[in-house]
Amino acid sequence: MFSLAQAAKAAGKSKPTLVRAIKNGKLSAARNDDGSYTIDPAELARVFPLPGAIAGRMLQHGPPNGAGDTAGVSAGEVEGLRLLVKAHEETIRDLRQQRDRAQEQLTVALRITDQRPPPAPRRSWWPWRRA
C-alpha cells in the first residue's frame, strides 16, 4: 500500500492531482484515522499507468489452443480453405471478364455519332429584336 506521497512519486503525478482523482471518484483510496490516504498499487496502476508500463491488451505469444509451436489446424480445414480460395479466384476471374465485356460494349456505343438533327435556332423573346 502506498501513501499519497509514495503514490505520487510512483505514478509521476503531483499529490494534488491524486487528491483530485480521489475526490472525483476516478481513483479509490482508503482514508486513515489521521486523515491521510492509503492507495493500492494496482488501483494506482489502473488509473495512472506506471511509467514504462505498456497500456492496452496483453499479447499472447503462442497459439490460442495451447498446441505449442504448431497451430491447431487440421488437414480438412486446410483443404476446405484451399477450395474456398479457388472458388474466390474463379469468381474474380468471371467478374473481370464481365467488366472487360462491358467496357468493350461501352466503347462501341461511344463510337456511334449523334445522328439527331441540329436544333432549330432559338427566337429571341425581346419583341423589338424581331424583324
Residue 87 included in any domain: yes
Residue 25 lies in a domain: yes
Residue 127 lies in a domain: no
Domain hosting 90: range is 82-110
φ/ψ bin of 11: left (φ > 0), alpha (ψ from -120 to 50), beta (otherwise): alpha
Within a domain: 129? no
- Does any domain span residue 57? no
pTM flag (> 0.85) = no
Asked if residue 26 belongs to a domain, the reply is yes
Total number of domains in the chain: 2
* Cα–Cα dist 4/24, whole Å: 16
Let me know if residue 52 belongs to a domain. Answer: no
- Rounded-to-integer distance, Cα 112 and Cα 72, Å: 61
First-to-last C-alpha distance (Å) of the chain: 104
Tens digit of pLDDT at every position of the chain (131 positions): 888 899 888 888 899 999 999 999 898 888 889 988 899 888 888 888 766 666 555 555 655 555 555 556 788 888 889 999 999 999 999 999 999 999 988 888 777 766 778 888 887 777 666 55
